[in-house]
Amino acid sequence: MRSQQSSSSNTGGVPTPLAQFNAIRITKPDGGQYGAVLDSLTQADLPDGEVLVRVSHSTMNYKDALAITGKSPVVRKFPMVPGIDFAGVVEESADPRFQPGDAVLLNGWGTGEVSWGGLSQYATTRADWLIRLPAGMSAEQAMSIGTAGYTAMLCVMALQSHGLAPESGPVLVTGANGGVGSIAIALLSRLGFLVTASTGRMEEAPHLQALGASAVMDRHSLSAQGKPLQKENWAGAVDAVGSHTLANVLATMRYGGVVAACGLAQGMDLPASVAPFILRGVSLIGVDSVYAPMSRRQTAWDRLAVELPASVLGSNTRLIGLSEVIPLANDLLAGRVRGRIVVDVNR
């Protein structure tokens, strides 16, 4: 799209697209070192795209921290602007479905991995990837939910589509203080489920209870190798952790229980046996947010707009500026961040 003429006459103190703007940029020169810096770019630097968005908020997800630190090969093209999600206002559009001024959000589709992402004051993207901001939801609220919260909703939808209901029995959420876990707790408890939160930070138990957990357990009881079948505790579970934790979650499911697995905070491995599947009829559902079809995304965001109270988002979110993103990446990977990090890219 990249039009030749200047646009943006109404940017309210925000730089116009042809002026310089700020973005995090990751580079890996041939034979050189991988690195992320806060850089100053111009519109000419942006890749072509059907829609130019003036970003107001982005977030820091686990995957963004991996991209910024280079600890996992998340970024597959260089240079890259990270940020797997963003919210903002359409500045220019070559697609008739979007007009300047439309409030939009985007998450996934390889944004921040193979195409430039949202940790920037401007982003170009494909019209097919954009979602209109749900009515009544601000850009900051949308990013308080972000990819983590949207993934939590996809997990809830997966459990429900498998027939899980509050009457089925108690549910477990692992990685409870993280973005996915914290919002999964809030969503499930508001649907009437009895939720146990598994965390390595027992000192955060009051926060998890305020989100809706009725019980909080120490994650260490799940993080080492366990027996293939253990006491039947849970009718459902949302697992953001993987590895031994997911194996132990499977081993402690009730007969006919269902687990939605979306994460790998402990590890990508799954050192489990088939015993829970073939002896207890347990189901394991994989949840991917990145390439989820648009209809499922739309349902998830519509439900989030209605089912997640603004008060939950406020208490679960820390707002930072672009310059604070890089220093925070290691803390996030080390599990030292609670809830969601929203980035005000104009701060």
In angstroms, the Cα distances linking 237 to 88, 156, 194, 225 are 33, 9, 11, 19
Q: How far is the CB of 224 from ligand NDP (least distance, A)?
A: 11
CB 140 within 8 A of CB 343: no
Tokens of 318: 């820390």
Structure tokens that stand for 127 in this block: 């019209």
CA 215, CA 205: separation in Å to the nearest integer? 8
Closest CA to 197 of 167, 239, 158: 239
Q: Number of residues in contact with ligand NDP, rule: CB under 6 A?
A: 32
- Beta-bridged to residue 106, according to DSSP, are 86
The torsion of the CA quartet 128, 132, 134, 138, rounded to 10 degrees, works out to 130
Site for ligand NDP in 61-90 (CB under 6 A): 61-63
**Euclidean distance between CA atoms 276 and 250, whole angstroms:** 6
Tell me: does residue 176 bind ligand NDP (CB under 6 A): yes
The 195-214 site mask, x for binding ligand NDP (CB under 6 A), equals ----xxx-------------
Residue nearest ligand NDP by beta-carbon distance: 178
Q: Which helix (H) or strand (E) holds 147?
A: helix 139-161
Q: Which is nearer to ligand NDP, 53 or 148 (CB)?
A: 148
- Which x/- pattern, by CB under 6 A, does the window 255-294 give for ligand NDP? -------xxxxx--------------------xxxx----
With respect to ligand NDP, which residue has the nearer C-beta, 61 or 144?
61
Rounded to whole angstroms, the Cα distance separating 299 from 153 reads 9
Compute the distance between CA of residue 21 and CA of residue 336 in angstroms, rounded to an integer. Answer: 30
Residue 112 makes contact with ligand NDP by CB under 6 A: no
Q: Report the distance separating Cα 242 and Cα 207, nearest Å.
A: 23
Nearer to ligand NDP, 96 or 293 (CB): 293
Site string for ligand NDP, 143-162 (x = CB under 6 A): ----xx--x-----------
Q: How far is the CB of 45 from ligand NDP (least distance, A)?
A: 28
Binding segment for ligand NDP among 10-18, 26-34, 175-183, 322-330 (CB under 6 A)? 175-183
Q: How far is the CB of 12 from ligand NDP (least distance, A)?
A: 31
**Which stretches of the chain bind ligand NDP, using CB under 6 A?**
61-63, 147-148, 151, 175-181, 199-201, 219, 223, 240-241, 245, 262-266, 287-290, 332, 335
